[in-house]
Amino acid sequence: MNSATTPSAPDDPYLWLEEVDGARARAWVEGRNRITEAELEAQPAYGALRARLRAILDSDEKIPYAGCHAGLLYNYWRDAVHARGIWRRTTLDEYRKEAPAWETLIDLDLLAREEGENWVWGGVTWLEPDGARCLVSLSRGGGDARVVREFDAIERRFVSDGFVLPEAKSDVAWIDQDTLFVGTDFGPGSLTDSGYPRIVKEWRRGTPLAAAATVFEARPDDLSASAWVDATPGFERAFVQRQIGFYSSELFLRRGGRLIKVPKPEDANAFAVRDQLVIELRSSWETGGAIYPQGALLAADVDAFLDGGAVFEALFLPAPGTSLDGVTVTRDALLLTVLDKVRNRIVELRREDGRWQARDLALPDMGALDTWAFDRIASNRYFLTMTGFTEPSTLYLMEAGTQAREPLKSMPAFFRAEGLQVHQFEARSSDGTRVPYFAVMHRDTRPDGDNPTVLYGYGGFEVSLKPGYAALSGAAWLEDGGVYVVANIRGGGEFGPGWHQAALKEGRQRAFDDFIGVAEDLIARNITSPRRLGIMGGSNGGLLVGAVLTQRPELFNAVVCQVPLLDMRRYHLLLAGASWMGEYGDPDDPAEWAWLARYSPYHRVRAGERYPRVLFTTSTRDDRVHPGHARKMAARMLEQGHDLLYWENLEGGHAGAADNAQTARMWALTWTFLRRQLGKDQAA
């Protein structure tokens, strides 16, 4: 076996488990599946729970969230009749009705049967501002690699001689009706080390893809290259982006066949809004005689900025406890979603008399608010959703410049929330940092340390965990008296770029310490105890719970580790792993491997230790985080004599499931496992 200080190796006995379609890997996976099914299917409550979760997922009462194009609302929908889903549209007047009349454009179940493919919906890219053509993305089994096909929304059919791209992690955008920007797998050398497009080409209709003219080439060790067009009438512009790493990029304006570099900081995001260039800072920036803090949002005239004479306006400056959570663009306004102590508020910005004017919207304190444009080019209308841990989501239509909210749709209550209360506590991490967390529990919960509790975390990639209505966990856990906890640990974006950057690379242990601190605080408050406490996380959150599993196993009695990273010696060699070196570090650099080795779960797990029971879940079709991580960790732990369960869905991609039936099965397995491990009927 490899030690935690020795690079893993060629002699690793489980490298064969990285072979996605290898016969031995498949046999091992299927063996684990049978054991997991046999154990959990035997639980009397499992079947009933699975049926209930499936009913929630299939419900016709869910909100049919929509996007607008050329005045019509488009929605992708799955239910009991449409397992793979349908893509459909309606008018706003119809959408306002309780039961709108929808026009189906693509029936994925029918298409899959006709073409003999396991299609999973991947979204559309419209010809803007009002074109009838779009590019439809379809995935085989739910992976990130997709087939792209041109679709005619008037004829409601795929264009027989239209644009088609074979399966790849492509990036495509319309230039005009007969021309595309295309980044895809053009052959050897055309992808980055991360597996994303390195080359952007201009492809004209009726010509072979091989003849497309190269627009830009990124370096092989960059993350990706892409290009797009801002189709706002009167402000049409083409942009090319070199994504150097996850948090660094170069932006170019394409004008007259030339690429003009936008002189922004490499770690800042930038986009155009009519005549304004908007820049979001990840680091402080000194420009024009002023110093702007990290997390600020700035705006300046595009042409003046490119000419070097820009005067910036600060659209958002972070205060203690606040951060910018999102920006929505309408025709004449920006809607800023701000996080204030991990609760949202909305600030509307409108440009009047040559300056940006701000006003706070008077909205209920619901926890989580989200906005997106109804039609950012032609309208000032936008959608707003309000939600909370115990409040089902409500969808409104609003218009910039007004305060009126038109309710459009409301989600029903899918679980009994009477008596549930949401608390926001703070824990102290090992370095003294105060870490907030939400705890949802019944008002009659006794502080006796005997309450089954699930602690969820993520802690990476600037992702903020906000209050939100989770129908499945509510039905499976909360309404039966379980306590559900969400930890806002460092590595996330809850308090801006600094909160994230504190846990980057060599600082990653801070995220783990924060999570451990929350667990200890729950125990100190006597909300729960180690034998009643379980932890759960997926993807980067799977790494989180995997690391904490090996560092503080005595704190927990159950671990759900979903689509995880676990082998930090080889993660950069597997699928998209190289793209995350800006987050974790480079294992091939001895200095960086030294800190990775200190927490890499695959290298820290030991025989003879007593670990809480683990349920690993992954997907054969996950082409983002390799299923080999979960396979290898499970194999090593089984060899060492540890008790665990393992479930690998054969499709579903990084989501772990490809349709409602698979999703219900996955979560029924998960919550049955947690109920058994943490429930009050277990043996002491």
Pick from 633, 619, 428: nearest CA to 549: 633
Task: Please measure the distance between the N-terminal and C-terminal CA atoms of the chain and give it in whole angstroms.
Answer: 34
Sheet containing 179-183: which strands, arranged edge to edge?
A: 171-176, 179-183, 199-204, 213-217
Say how far apart CA 122 and CA 163 lie, in whole Å. 16
Indicate the residue type of 385. Answer: T
Which tokens is 129 given?
């501002």
Q: Under 8 Å CB-to-CB from 121, ≥6 apart: which residues?
A: 76, 84, 85, 87, 108, 138, 139
Give catalytic status of residue 500 as yes or no: no
Phi, psi of 480 (to 5 degrees): -95, 15
Give catalytic status of residue 642 as yes or no: no
679: left (phi over 0), alpha (psi -120 to 50) or beta: beta
Which of 170, 224, 226, 539 does the annotation list as catalytic?
539
Say how far apart CA 305 and CA 273 lie, in whole Å. 13
Pick from 243, 255, 144: nearest CA to 192: 243
Tokens 């922004």 locate to: 264
Q: Under 8 Å CB-to-CB from 575, ≥6 apart: which residues?
A: 195, 622, 623, 624, 625, 626
Say how far apart CA 298 and CA 293 lie, in whole Å. 10
Pick from 69, 169, 182: nearest CA to 126: 69
Catalytic residue numbers read 539, 654
